[in-house]
Structure 1
Amino acid sequence: MEDGESSGLREVASRLTAPGKGILASDESTGTIGKRLEKAGLQNNEEIRKAYREQFYTAGIGCSISGAILFKETLAQNSSQDIPFVDCLTRQAVLPGIKVDQGLAPLEGCEGETSTRGLESLEAECRAYRKQGARFCKWRAALRIGDSTPSQKAIDVNAQQLAQYAAIAQACDLVPIVEPEILIDGDYDIHRSSSVSQEVFQACVAQLWRHNVDLEATLLKPMMVMPGADASSKASPEDVAQATLDVLRRCIPPAIPGVMFLSGGLSEEEATVYLDSINKLALQQESRHWALSFSFGRALQASVLKLWVAEREGNAPAGKSKEMASAIAAANAAASLGQYVGPHPSITSGGASLRETYRGWRTDV
């Protein structure tokens, strides 16, 4: 990579990790978002999907959101005002991103484990997405904790694929978000989560080095270190914060500018509280070597979808869903600075404007 190209990508990475901002992960595939829409009583068609996503892209989220990951369908769509979604975002200083992997596939010889599809066509697609206005991209690997998983083969294959993807993305002038997700499904405890996370992250970083990926133009999107969803022993936000920071310190070079956590099945409130605890502890311990922020999907969207459906049915005031989108983004922006205070927007009802309620958490809004 030429020095000029590297400098440009690092500038994008710096914008994505700006203090007090995070990333909206609105890159659900047609099938995934369809399940949520159908559960809410809506049809899964392009017009409905576009109208729903417009609630976020035109909600005035630029005060709290630095980038939005789009699905390939959305990257080419226009708003109801016939403004390209890419322009809706950039006018708010929100960088458009794109999901580039093609989903999971069974990993040969490893029952129940997966690798990720899409490397064969990745370069051509990345170049096309860049021409459409994307500035960064995301590739997801998923590893499951069980009695004998993840296997060493699964760890190695997924780490290598993530590094290959990152190198291709940077060659196509896109900042890569590397997502080695440790699935929350299972009954493992926080110690097992720590051990597996450390092994997975170390393998990923090693492969990034081997593939000559510019770490200063790369972001990491992991799950916070916590017990599995079915574990008998739960962990406090403080325990999650300590375990997560311990693993990051052991594995992630300070050259990587940002760790943008995924919410991975957490509730909206849990995701915010855990993120806030991580940042509070990092500040206390003077160990905030990276931006510690968010790249949430459902944890930024669940309440917005409910309100949007209510608006369509005439059971909520027009604009309330956009207000909620802005408020939840602001709550997580505050958490990324260790400045969150409750109650969470998702459990607030009535009263003052949600946007005004959470405006005070950011001094520059």
Structure 2
Amino acid sequence: MNQEQLKRIRSGKGFIAALDQSGGSTPKALLQYGVTEDKYSGDEEMYVRVHEMRTRIIQSPAFSSESILGAILFENTMDRKIDGLYTADYLWEKKGIVPFLKIDQGLAALDGGVQVMKPIPGLDELLARANKRHIFGTKMRSVIKEANPEGIRKVVEQQFEVGKQIIAAGLVPIIEPEVDINSTDKEESERLLKAEIVKQLELLPSDALIMLKLSIPTVDDFYRDLMDDPHIIRVVALSGGYEREDANTRLARNHGLIASFSRALAEGLTAQQSDEEFNQLLSGTVQSIYEASIT
């Protein structure tokens, strides 16, 4: 583990940029960026276009270590290059931004009010490649839609079980049990979720390090005490479908909680914008998310 990167994530001021839309969500991400499906043919062309989009974001002067601590990539981006460097190396060596990798393969069908992760075949091989590509940590997402104690227990147990495999590979897992922001019993789901996280933290080896990525809680500062747990490097928040301004307002009320926004980060950016327009908009976005993250 890179100790300089660990220190930056643990105590740096800023947020984590989520650039990890993959397979199913890539056409949607491109469409929001103004690249319609008739502009590419097949998966390879699609991934070239999405890498162009991500490269433009990463190379923007607005995308800097002054505001951004880390960036989450997906596998295809990890294996591509920016200016002759693998993306993770470019992020760290040229930008001072810590690289993470999304490793989950999507969600299983809704069962017991939750969606656990699909199995992740070849995970050990992927983690070995992540190490070779100088990735610091990983991210994996499950979703909680109802306050179902058994379902939430399954989500958290699965997350920590895979998390231990990631820790054994020398990487830091971002454990992401997202609570659906439209859930009718979101607050109760969060109470059950926190209790299960605490249980799993107590079972970790003393030197194990993780991060948590959680929905912005209904009750302000609800996750504040988790930040003091010696296993937890950082607690970050997803935007979860809130518009950026709303997400920032909610985030700012939660002290110590920092953003790891995806859609809210790319909101308004298009392929048709001039570099000046693009960089100006991204700069304002980054600044607003940064300010909400340092409260």
Whether the TM-score (by the shorter chain) exceeds 0.5 is: yes
| CA apart distance, 1:15 | 1.4
> Partners of 1:13 and 1:141 in 2: how far apart?
25
Q: Is 1:301 paired with 2:266?
A: yes
Residues in 1 aligned to 2:89 and 2:11: alpha-carbon distance in whole angstroms? 20
After TM superposition, give the deviation of residue 330 of structure 1 in Å: 2.2
In the other structure, the counterpart of 2:215 is 223
Q: How does 1:196-207 map to 2 (within 5 A)?
A: 196-207=189-200
Structure 2 residue matching 1:106: 3-state secondary structure: coil
Aligned to 2:162: 165
Aligned to 1:114: 115
Check 1:198–1:273 CA distance in 2 against 1; reply closer, same or farther (3 A cut). Answer: same
> Residues 180 and 221 of structure 1 are in contact (CA less than 8 Å); yes or no, is this contact kept in structure 2?
yes
Contact 1:17 1:293 in 2 (8 A): no
Identity score, percent: 24
Q: Using a 3 Å threshold, how does the CA distance of structure 1 residues 125 and 214 change in structure 2: closer, same or farther?
A: same
Of 29, 34, 50, the match for 2:27:
34
Alignment of 1:1-365 (within 5 A): 8=1, 12-38=5-31, 40-43=34-37, 45-60=46-61, 61=63, 62-79=65-82, 81-90=83-92, 91-106=94-109, 110=111, 113-145=114-146, 150-186=147-183, 188=184, 192-212=185-205, 214=207, 217-226=209-218, 243-245=219-221, 247-249=222-224, 253-255=228-230, 256-279=232-255, 291-304=256-269, 308-311=270-273, 317-338=274-295
Measure the CA separation in 1 of the matches of 2:226 and 2:191. 7
| Equivalence for 1:288 | none
Amino acid at match of 2:163: A
**Which deviations, in whole Å up to 9, do the C-alpha atoms of 1:261-301 show, x marking residues without a partner?**
1100011111122222223xxxxxxxxxxx42111101111
TM-score (norm 2): 0.87
Shift of the 263–164 alpha-carbon distance from structure 1 to 2, 3 Å rule, reads same
Query: Matched residue of 1:118: which SS?
Result: coil
**119 and 30 in structure 1: CA distance in 2 versus 1, 3 angstrom threshold:** closer
| C-alpha contact 2:114 2:155 (8 A) present in aligned 1 | no
- The unaligned stretches of length 5 or more in structure 2 are 41-45
- For residues 219 and 111 of structure 1, the distance between their equivalents in structure 2, rounded to whole angstroms, comes to 26
Shift of 1:78: 1.6
Question: Within 2, Cα distance between the matches of 1:213 and 1:75?
Answer: 31
Given the superposition, is the C-alpha separation of residues 93 and 303 from structure 1 closer, same or farther in structure 2, using an over 3 Å criterion?
same
Number of residues paired by the alignment? 283
In 2, distance between residues paired with 1:166 and 1:111?
Answer: 22
Once the two structures are overlaid, the 10-residue window that deviates more, 267-276 or 203-212, is 203-212
Alpha-carbon deviations, 1:204-229, whole Å to 9, x = none? 231233243745x2111100123xxx
Whole-angstrom CA distance in 1 between matches of 2:85 and 2:149: 47
What is the distance in 2 between the residues matched to 1:10 and 1:202?
Answer: 30
Q: CA deviation at 1:111?
A: 5.5
SS in 2 for 1:278: coil
Q: Assess, with a 3 A threshold, how the Cα gap between structure 1 residues 111 and 194 changes in structure 2: closer, same or farther.
A: closer
Q: Distance in 2 between matches of 1:120 and 1:205?
A: 28
**Aligned-residue RMSD, C-alpha:** 2.3
Q: CA deviation at 1:18?
A: 3.4
Question: Structure 1: which 5+ runs fail to align?
Answer: 1-7, 227-242, 280-290, 312-316, 339-365
CA spacing shift, 1:318–1:57, aligned 2, 3 Å: closer
Q: CA deviation at 1:158?
A: 0.9
Change (3 A) 1:205 1:119: farther
CA contact (8 A) 2:86 2:133 kept: no
Question: Contact 1:13–1:175 (CA<8 Å) still a contact in 2?
Answer: no
Q: Which amino acid aligns with 2:150?
A: K
Give the structure-1-normalised TM-score.
0.71
Cα distance between partner residues in 1 of 2:112 and 2:145:
11
Structure with more relative contact order (C-alpha pairs < 8 Å, separation 6 or more): 2
Change (3 A) 1:300 1:38: closer
Q: Is the 8 A contact 2:89 2:133 kept in 1?
A: no
